[in-house]
Structures are given as structure tokens and as C-alpha cells.
Amino acid sequence: MNHEHQPLDATLLRLKRERDEADRKYNDALTALDRALMREPEFPHPPPAYDEHQITPLNGAWDIVAGWGAPGAGGGLKARLAAFIWRIAGPPLQKQAAFNSLLVDHLNRNAAAHREAQKAIASIVALLRDQVADLLGFHSRLLMFLQQITLYVDTTGRRSEGQALVVNAAVNALAEDLAKRWESMIAREQRYEARVAGIASTHEELRALIGISQQAAMTAKRELERLAATNPPAGPSLSSGVPQTSAFAPALDAYKYVGFENQFRGSQETIRARLESYLPYFANASDVLDVGCGRGEFLDLLQSRGVTARGLDLNHEMVELCRARGLAVEESDAVSYLERLPDAALGGLFAAQVVEHLQPAYLLRVLELAYHKLRPGAPIVLETLNPACWTAFFDSFIRDITHVWPLHPETLRYLVLASGFSSARIEFRSPVPPQDRLQMVAAQDADHADVFNANVEKLNARLFSFLDYAIVGGR
């Protein structure tokens, strides 16, 4: 029932009824507890002590043939008569003596057990009596405690009433102070509105100036592009196999891709932390080449470990960012740079989120050149988006307009091996967080739950697996 808009009288009446009902239930429960108070039961007496009166006589009298012995040899009438009698009575007497021996041994063995059992039963009876006495005492104290709650609550309520009076007085004083402050705030608001009106006028003027500045910047950009087109620089093109029609390729648009990286790929600190796990592959390397070094996160990591390295990037603004931090970076594409190097000049090659930007034929040329320019045993690490994970493909790959070709993990691994490298393994990275995956159901209906959960696992394997992977190979 909704009591949000109930009148005050009705609310007070409802609260009184709820309180009376709670009091009735409490009294009924207390009465039932009082009637259920335990009484001490009549405990049985411990069993009497074990009767061992005849144990000692039995130990002395069990051998009924003791002293008889077998009759001696002799030819006299008495000896022959004794031998005759022994042949008749001896065997039964010997069997009786053996039985007596076993019986007396049994009684001796069980006498100690009977004594311990009698002691244990006596101690258990005493322990139960003490436990029941403690339980009765607890019940009695619990009942006394519950009987005192009502009085305690009543006195607490009286104290709360006194506190409520104090609070009401404080609230009234606060309300008067707020009324005064409200009047002051109205006056301030009026002055603030006047100032906002002045600021709004100034803002419109600034907006007009910014529009004029943007128009001038675009005009200057078009003029620079026209001059660059009519007076191309001497020497090889920086793209060398990379079409200049690709997004952000002109130097004048390079800053836009820097902003794109900052917004969608992550901060330099985030990327540096994620790339740190690749450092062990280059622990003992030198002359490492970072292709598509971007903002230089991995170059920073290599430099901090004392590994000599150089970076490449086509984006002019990226190159300038790296050089400003003292990193060795060239503005060039991979094929042009690798072709200028002598064979076995590199101690390692790293490329993170680069190969998906390359046309297949250009990628094959890069891999072939990398094989010749790396020293024997040198590592090659190629990280890229995992298009086998649909989340990575639809959320990351198609978002970047500079991406050219998605590379399935097995495809890139094959291309690396086909280019001559002796080893290449797939290392999946950046798993989709568990909370973003499809969730299993509880096995209430085992058959249906197993089928449903199996389908969930199949969808998770396609949709929510690993966002990235890396090919880790060796020359």
C-alpha cells in the first residue's frame, strides 16, 4: 500500500495500529516463552560398580587337573589302575580345564573395560546434569531480559521525546535563519543575472571571433596544401607504398589522428602499462625498431630498461611528440626504412596496432624485409585487434577509419611463418571483462541449463573473448 500522500491523522492512526499490533505479538511471544521454560528432568543414577568378588577365587581354581598329571610308568597294580582311570577321565578333565582357562581370561580382560564403562557413564550423567542446569539458567535469564525490554523502550521513548523538543526548537531557529539567508540570496541572484547577461554578450563576441579564426585557419590550410602540391619536396615520398589518400595522411591533418588516439585508444600512461608485458621479449636485445611507434609509449619503456631502440611513424605530429621527449624517431614508412638497412641490422622488431593499417601486399613486403633485417634469434612482436572477437571488430576495428584489413590470428601467424621465421605463436590479450559477457544460469533444470550454458559459452567465444592478440615470433 502506498502511504506517501496519506493525511497526517491517518498516518498517525496507522502508526498506532502498527505499534499496538507489534505490542500484542511481542506479549504473545513472551507468554509462550514463559510457558515453554524447561524443568529439570529426573536423571538416572549411575550404574552400580562392577562385581569383582569372585575374580580372584576363579583365577586360583580354574585348573582342575593341577597336581594330577599323567600317571607314571610302572608294573604295579596301582599304577595300572591309575593309568586306566586317567585314560577314561583325563581327556574330559583337560577340556574342562582349557574351557576354564579361556573363561577366566575373558573375565579378567573385561573387568577393566567394565570398570571404565561404569566411570564413563557416571561422568556423562554428571555432565548432562550440569549442562541442563546451565541451560535452565540461561532460559531464566533470557526471559528476565525480555521482560525488561518494554520498560527500557518506554524510557528511551521518553528521552527521544525530550530530544525531539530540543530538535524542534533548533529547527525553528534554523528556519528563521534560512528565511533571512533566502532574502539575501534573492538579492545576490539578481546581481548575478545582471552579470550573466554581460557575460553572454561577451560570449557572443568571442564566438564570432572564434568563427573568424577558424575560417582564417581553413583558408591558410588550403593555401599550404596548394603550395605543397605545386612545389613537392625532393627525395622519396614519406608514404612509399602507403596511399596519400588515406585518412590523416597529409601532414596538415596529422594532429587530428593524435586527438583520435588520445580519445579512443587511451592515455599514454594506460598504453604504457599495457605494453609493459612485452618487455621480457626484448630484455637482452639492442637496436630494436618500433614500427608505428605513435606517441612513443613502448620506446619510453625500452629506454627505461637501457635497450637501444628507434621508432618509425608516418604521422608528423606523432613524430614531433616523440622527438620533444628525446626519443629517436623517424618520419618514414616501414618498407622504405627497412630497405635502406643492411641485413641483420636489427635486434628486434615491435609493432603494436599497426598491421591492420596495411594493405596485404604491403604487409607481406614488411614481413619479408623484417626477416632479412633481423639478426638470428631476434624477436618479432606484432600486436593487432582480434577480428575473431566480434566485440573488438564492431566496437574498435570499424571505428578507426585508417584501418585497412582485419587479420585473423591464424592468418597473421601463417604469414609470419611463411615469411621465413622459425617460430610464431599467438598470444591473446585484453580479455573482455566477465561482467560484460553473457552470464550463465543456475542449474535448477539441469538438462535445459546445460544446453543454455553451452550456447552461452559458444556466444562468449565469438562475441566476448579477447580484444587483441599478438604474434610473438623469432628469426
Residue type, 331: E
Greater confidence (90 vs 404) lies with 404
pLDDT value of position 377: 93
- The whole-number average pLDDT for the span 355-384 is 95
Region of 50 (left: φ > 0; alpha: ψ -120 to 50; beta: rest) is beta
Statement to judge: residues 220 and 278 lie in one domain: no
Q: What is the mean pLDDT of residues 400-416?
A: 88
Per-residue pLDDT reduced to its tens digit, 177-234: 887 888 888 888 888 888 888 888 788 778 667 757 755 665 565 567 667 667 765 5
Asked if residue 395 and residue 298 are part of one domain, the reply reads yes
Q: What is the mean pLDDT of the chain?
A: 79
Residue in 355, 395, 260 with CA at minimum distance from that of residue 315: 260
Are residues 322 and 195 both part of a single domain? no
Most confident of the following: 33-47, 397-411, 446-460: 397-411
Overall average pLDDT of the 298-321 stretch: 94
Domain assignment of residue 129, given as a range = 22-232
> What is the structure's pLDDT at 413?
94
Q: Please, which pLDDT band fits residue 85 given cuts at 50, 70 and 90?
A: confident
Find, among 454, 276, 461, the residue nearest to 381 by Cα.
276
Number of residues that this document lists for the chain: 475
329 falls within a domain: yes
The dihedrals phi and psi of 291, each to the nearest 5 degrees, come to -85, 130
Last residue of a domain, one of 232, 267, 291: 232
The count of structural domains within the chain is 2
Q: Say if residue 262 is in the same domain as residue 213.
A: no
CATH code of residue 434? 3.40.50.150
Residues 127 and 54 placed together within one structural domain of the fold: yes
Q: How confident is the model at residue 248 (pLDDT cuts 50, 70, 90)?
A: very low
Asked whether residue 264 falls in the same domain as residue 170, the answer is no
* Together in a domain, 340 and 428: yes
Burial label for 292, CB within 10 Å (0-12, 13-18, 19+), is buried
Residue 327 lies in a domain: yes
Most confident of the ranges 206-220, 282-296, 447-461: 282-296
Residue 160 domain flag? yes
Identify whether residues 148 and 262 lie together within a single domain: no
Q: Considering the domain boundaries, does residue 316 fall inside one? A: yes
- 310 with 212, same domain: the answer is no
Which of 202, 232, 262 is the C-terminal boundary of a domain? 232
**Do residues 143 and 73 share a domain?**
yes
Residue 5, in any domain of the structure: no
Same-domain status, 214 and 343 = no
Whether 358 maps to a domain, the answer reads: yes
Which pLDDT band, with edges at 50, 70 and 90, does 463 fall under?
low
| Residue where a domain terminates, one of 173, 200, 232 | 232
Residues 278 and 222 in one domain: no
